[in-house]
Structure 1
Amino acid sequence: MLKLGFLGFGEVGYTFAKGILEKGAVCRVYAHDLCQNDGWKGEQIRARALETKVVLTDSVEDLVKISDIILGIVPSKASTSAAQCIAQYLTAGQAYCDLSSASPNVKKEAAHILKSCKGTFVDGAIMGAMATYGFQVPIFVAGEKAEEVAEKLKTVGFNLTYTGPEPGNASAVKMLRASFTKGIEALIVETFYAASRYGSQEMLLEVLADTFDRESFKETVNRYITSDAIHAGRRADEVSGVIEFLKQSDIEPFMATGTYQRLKWSESLGLKEKLKGVTPQDFREVLRLYPQKDSN
């Protein structure tokens, strides 16, 4: 029987424990939370543990000693200190999976810390909103033995995808996804804020919907990256005009300015000349031509 430990028993841990219980998985769940004995937070933690049949341990040491796999469900700022604490007690045959939203470099540091013991470190990244997915939230994992750990967690119902042997890979995907989705959010806000100043938001909505509804997301990514290699310079000139338009409308062009800078970067690579003006069929051909380091 798998013995699963949760370092931290907040909303995420509670959702996981509830999901495991509802699935009737053959698994024992333990948890330790720094707030489990503090005021109303402690009351909530203890009530949720009772509801989901989770055994709260008195210390991190007790949690590690009794668990096969420990899931670190802590704030990103606590990722390193959590790894340092776990490393004191983790032994061969045990695994620690850091599910915090810490950066790839922090996850690599945590992996390095865990090398001091004989246990296994897994970089984990929760790839969606718990409120939307619940227990079935997609989780990406990376690390030397991450695939093996993932298979064990799948037996109790976790939805995991192995991304590779290097710690930090899973978190990199999470951070880039966040950058993209939040960037889209900010771009939409800037665009429709400007449109509302001219009363054209409804027309713009229809125009953009017609543009993007015609193809899949993968097709959109391919079209933009491949055509950027050839047309980045011309597009930068167009965006330069947009920046002036927004400024004249008393709207700070945050996103437009960033767009201009990235397009000028693309132009500076000289890809149009390298490709002799021919748009590639596959965006991966363009990615292979990008420099390994982004210079200013």
Structure 2
Amino acid sequence: MTQPPAHIALIGFGEAGQAFARGWRREAPGLEIRAFDIKTDGPDAAGKRADYAGAQITGCDGPEGLAGHPLVSLVTADQAGAAARAQAAHITPGTLYLDGNSCAPETKRAASEVIEAAGGRYVDMAIMAPVHPRLHRVPVLLAGPHAEDARAFCQSLGMSPGVAGDEVGQACAVKMLRSVMVKGIEALCLESLLAAQKAGVADQVIASLDASHPGWDWAAKAAYNFERMTTHGTRRAAEMREVATTVGALGLDNGMSRATAAWAETVGQLGQLSTDEDFCARADALLAALEERKIQ
């Protein structure tokens, strides 16, 4: 196995970045971890600096603080291109740049051109499952001309990489087209079971779904999907807009992806509504919030 690096840097320090840092800190306590998040410069700066301190990493005031470190970009989909452009001005030639953002192949290829022109080695990385509970060991796919080097690098950090191909865009295409199904099911679940709850027939609808798909436990899945979309809906909407771009670029109708993005945006704007794990409690809270928004 390749010798693990002495240091690494994260561009973005949200849920994914914090999960990776937590895993690395636990298994490689000597690893120097740096991070820069654009929230460091804004009204949420104090909270972000608290995140850095809590994770026992070095928080930087700008992308220049990450220079000389292998880079892992984990920002929101709509910020991926801007993050690459900002970091390109400070990248050390030969530096690996792992772009783990949920973007369309076209977006990844544009970022690749920027990083490669600055002397960096760009890698398309797709995170293929929720980062919790596996943290840095979550399965990732890599693609591009530097994918094999990146695989060895990731393995040295205890990660779980696979290689999708030697062209930038191959890894994220798998991620994007998988999301049509995964995020689409989440959106359909909310529409179906919110309506069922409002109509007073949620128990019957869930029983029917359980009978049609044994073992799925639709009540538990619904509660989980409600939490994910209310907590992460805005981020999911950004991803689904990239998914729609991916599907459209293939010459196919992307109406389902566009509708999923719009629904996720609506729900995500409501924020976290209920910590109760019961589906009915979460459904009632979401219905109340949607009704209040309609009145406003």
| Structure 1 and Structure 2 fold alike (TM over 0.5) | yes
Q: Deviation at 1:172?
A: 0.9
Aligned mates of 2:174, 2:122 — CA distance in 1: 18
Q: Which residue of 2 aligns with 1:62?
A: 65
- Asked if 1:36 corresponds to 2:40, the answer is yes
Question: Per the alignment, do residues 185 and 61 of structure 1 end up closer, same or farther by CA in structure 2, a change over 3 Å counting?
Answer: closer
Question: Bigger relative contact order, structure 1 or 2, given CA contacts below 8 A and separation 6+?
Answer: 2
Distance 2:58 2:169 in 1: 31
Q: Contact 2:40–2:61 at 8 Å: present in 1 too?
A: no
Offset of residue 4 of structure 1: 0.5
- Hey, what does 2:6 align to over in structure 1? 2
Task: Answer yes or no: is the 8 Å Cα contact 1:37–1:43 preserved in 2.
Answer: no
- In the alignment of these two chains, the number of paired residues is 215
1:162 equivalent in structure 2: 163
2:10/2:17 contact within 8 Å kept: yes
Match of 1:121 in 2: 122
State the Cα distance separating 1:16 from its structure 2 match. 1.3
Q: Could you say if the C-alpha distance between residues 4 and 203 of structure 1 is closer, same or farther in structure 2, counting changes exceeding 3 Å? A: closer
Distance, in Å, in 2 between the alignment partners of 1:108 and 1:101 is: 13
Deviation at 1:43, TM superposition (A): 2.3
Question: 1:208 & 1:4 partners in 2: Cα distance?
Answer: 48
Give, in angstroms, the shift of residue 293 of structure 1: 6.0
TM-score by length of 1: 0.62
In the TM superposition, residue 207 of structure 1 has moved relative to its aligned partner by 4.8
1:84: which partner in 2? 85
d(CA) in 2 for partners of 1:176, 1:201: 28
Offset of residue 26 of structure 1: 4.3
CA contact (8 A) 1:125 1:141 kept: yes
Higher Rg: 1
Q: Which amino acid aligns with 1:89?
A: H
Q: Partners in 2 of 1:115 and 1:202 — Cα distance?
A: 51
| Paired letter, 1:45 | K
**What is the aligned counterpart of 1:47 among 50, 53, 58?**
50
Deviation, 1:70, is 0.7
Q: Which structure 2 residues correspond to residues 199-278 of structure 1 after superposition, within 5 A? A: 201=205, 204-205=208-209, 207-209=211-213
Instruction: Quickly say closer, same or farther: Cα 1:91–1:207, change in 2 above 3 A.
Output: same
- Relative to 1, partners in 2 of residues 1:24 and 1:205: Cα closer, same or farther, differing over 3 Å? same
Q: Show CA shifts across 1:219-259 (max 9, x none).
A: xxxxxxxxxxxxxxxxxxxxxxxxxxxxxxxxxxxxxxxxx
Q: Name the counterpart of 1:23.
A: 27
Hey, what's the Cα distance between the residues in 2 that align with 1:201 and 1:60? 50
1:56-105 CA distances to partner (integer Å, 9 max, x unpaired)?
A: 223212312x31x1111111111112222222222332111111112111
TM-score by length of 2: 0.62
- The aligned residue for residue 136 of structure 2 is 135
Contact 2:22-2:135 within 8 A present in 1 as well: no
Residue in 2 that maps onto 1:106: 107
Distance 1:157 1:45, change over 3 A: farther
**Helix, strand or coil at the partner of 2:80:** helix
Give 1:20 shift. Answer: 0.8
Residue pair 1:27, 1:156 contacting (<8 A) in 2 also: no
Q: Any gaps of 5 or more consecutive residues in structure 2?
A: 217-249, 254-296
Aligned to 1:172: 173
Aligned alpha-carbon RMSD (Å): 3.2
SS at match of 2:54: helix
Counterpart secondary structure, 2:125? strand
Deviation at 1:35, TM superposition (A): 2.0
Q: Distance in 2 between matches of 1:206 and 1:61?
A: 53
In the alignment, the residues of structure 2 paired with residue 37 and residue 199 of structure 1 have an alpha-carbon distance, to the nearest angstrom, of 47
Of the structure 1 ranges 12-21 and 128-137, higher mean CA displacement relative to structure 2 is found in 128-137
Q: Which amino acid aligns with 1:209?
A: H
User: 1:72 and 1:107 mapped to 2: Cα distance?
Assistant: 12
State the identity %.
28
Counterpart-to-counterpart distance in 2, 1:190 and 1:61: 45
Q: Aligned letter for 1:44?
A: G
Q: 1:22 to 1:85 in 2, by over 3 A?
A: same
Distance of 2:202 and 2:138 partners within structure 1: 41
Local SS of the residue matching 2:119: coil
